[in-house]
Amino acid sequence: MCVDCVEKEYPNRGNICLESGSFLLNFTGCAVCNKRDFMLITNKSLKEEDGEEIVTYDPNQRDPW
């Protein structure tokens, strides 16, 4: 998700621990197509030096569920 697709860049998640790392309640919709459908993860990587996780979504592949 890009910064234009979320309500807040770093939302307060409280004590929520998410397996996917994605806080989808913060997702406002795709900034490109304006749809609010959930997207599938196409790439997920972890930078070891700082523990930052990068998740890439494909707006062309929608979750069928």
Model-wide pTM > 0.85: no
pLDDT tens-place string over residues 16-62: 766 666 666 677 777 777 777 666 666 666 566 676 766 666 655 55
HEC readout, 1-61: CCHHHECCCCCCCCCCCCCCCCCHHHECCCCCCCCCCCEEEEEEEECCCCCCEEEEEEEEE
Domain extents for the chain?
A: 3-62
Query: CATH for 3-62, among 2.60.40.4240, 3.50.50.60, 3.40.50.450, 3.40.50.170?
Result: 2.60.40.4240
Q: How confident is the model at residue 65 (pLDDT cuts 50, 70, 90)?
A: very low
